[in-house]
Structure 1
Amino acid sequence: MIKISIADNQPVVMHGISCFFKNHSKISISDTVYHLKDIEESLHQNKVKILIIDIELEGLHSISALKKVIQNNLDTKLLIYTCATEKLFGLTSLKAGAAGFISKKAPLEDLEAGILKIADGKTAFSDGVHKNALTSSYLNNERMYRKLSSRESEVLRYLISGKKNNEISELLNLNEKTISTYKLRLLNKLHVTNLIDLVNKAKTLEIV
């Protein structure tokens, strides 16, 4: 039996996944947590094979925090299950050590397939990524995404969501001037001159 845990902010998501896998012949849910701070104790107690985690989990404000969870729990594979776009966070999550990235917009059967793949020693990516990888537009966009560091991607996500520099600095525990520097880098790398154009460019590239 493949033991899994779920780390997610939304009770309805927890309920949906729990109902879907109830009485499953190969997968069982050992625990559910709603905050990053509860993950370590949960994994220590339950010894699960796979942790399904939302990249927007309460308390999870950076890719480095995700990487720390992975490094501290080498016997547990992480499967990112989120509404956040894979085009923006798939690559950085993979670099951090995650074993898969599946959109919440996909059917739960995709999540099931991802769990089974990871349990079999493989990695899991959504069908949408494989399909988009075949198009030249995706490949061109990927070249641009690779220019962004993990921290720049995080700052971009918060800027797109409407947060101001001081709010982002508190969330990421960085100096506000540092956030301003990241914003300038993003404008430069995405070839725009202001925040409105930055958001519009992100929408054009389908990263929001």
Structure 2
Amino acid sequence: MMINLSIADNQPVVMHGIKSYFKSHSEISVLDTFNHLRELELSLDARKAGVLLIDLELEGLHSIKSLKKMVEEHPKTKILVYTSASEKLFGVTSLKAGASGFISKKETLLKVEQAILQIAEGKTYFSDLVHKSVISSARMNNEERMYRKLSSREKEVLSYLINGKKNNEISELLNLNEKTISTYKLRLLNKLNVTNLIDLVNKAKTLEIV
């Protein structure tokens, strides 16, 4: 089945080069080209492109929210971001907006071809850097949620533990039973998903509590 490709890019030379590359392709056919977001949106409303190759610097595309809107309104169109914009800055946000892939304009047209074929099959095309960044971000968000779940007293005990205070010292400072401090310590280990005091301190540093 032929993949209908639409190209949205400010640069005529880029669009001409891509059209020429896929002119006689057995699986990919260039449906149309656009140099402004408004024209692109009207076309997507009128007919469905299988894959949309789009530059984040497209005229009229002022926010990643526009990309997200296209994904939501045209779920059958797979969006492949093709741009000279930094992957480090926009790779993750493109993925989170619902794009099916991100490829730099520094890559060869062969790579672009591979990316189009891959996402047309329902897969995604993102670099390992983007995937690792998303996983790292998700992990950090989970840890931040863990920290927010701590009670005021638990945070107070944690701050003393971070500063090297012993259980008996903390009990005197807070005017609490030493056994109670031990209970708070166990809760902290459990809530922050660590098994010892050293890891607890390191987790606190990761969360920038200290």
Tell me the alpha carbon deviations over residues 117-140 of structure 1, each in whole angstroms, 9 at most, x when there is no partner.
001110012xxx33x579xxx87x
In structure 2, what is the Cα distance between the partners aligned to 1:37 and 1:71? 17
Counterpart for residue 83 of structure 1: 84
Tell me the alpha carbon deviations over residues 2-37 of structure 1, each in whole angstroms, 9 at most, x when there is no partner.
001000000000000000001100000001000011
Say whether 1:15 aligns with 2:16.
yes
Report if the CA contact (8 A) 1:31-1:46 is conserved: no
Report if the CA contact (8 A) 1:30-1:46 is conserved: no
In structure 2, what is the Cα distance between the partners aligned to 1:46 and 1:33? 14
Counterpart for residue 117 of structure 1: 118
Aligned length: 136
Tell me the alpha carbon deviations over residues 46-71 of structure 1, each in whole angstroms, 9 at most, x when there is no partner.
32111000011001011111111111
Give unpaired runs (5+ residues) of structure 1.
Answer: 148-208
Counterpart for residue 162 of structure 1: none
In structure 1, what is the Cα distance between the partners aligned to 2:75 and 2:52? 11
Structure number with greater CO (CA < 8 Å, separation at least 6) is 1
How far residue 39 of structure 1 moved from its aligned partner, in angstroms, is: 1.2
Instruction: Tell me which amino acid in the other structure corresponds to 1:45.
Output: A
Counterpart for residue 163 of structure 2: none
Give unpaired runs (5+ residues) of structure 2.
Answer: 142-210
| Counterparts of residues 7-156 of structure 1 (less than 5 Å) | 7-125=8-126, 129-130=127-128
Instruction: Tell me which amino acid in the other structure corresponds to 1:25.
Output: S
In structure 1, what is the Cα distance between the partners aligned to 2:77 and 2:121? 13
Higher-Rg structure is 2
In structure 1, what is the Cα distance between the partners aligned to 2:28 and 2:3? 5
Instruction: Tell me which amino acid in the other structure corresponds to 1:89.
Output: F
In structure 2, what is the Cα distance between the partners aligned to 1:104 and 1:133? 16
Q: Partner of 2:39: helix, strand, or coil?
A: helix
Runs of 4+ in 1 over 4 A off after TM superposition: none
Report if the CA contact (8 A) 2:51-2:120 is conserved: yes
In structure 2, what is the Cα distance between the partners aligned to 1:69 and 1:58? 15
In structure 2, what is the Cα distance between the partners aligned to 1:26 and 1:20? 12
Taking structure 2 as the reference length, what is the TM-score of the superposition? 0.60
Taking structure 1 as the reference length, what is the TM-score of the superposition? 0.61
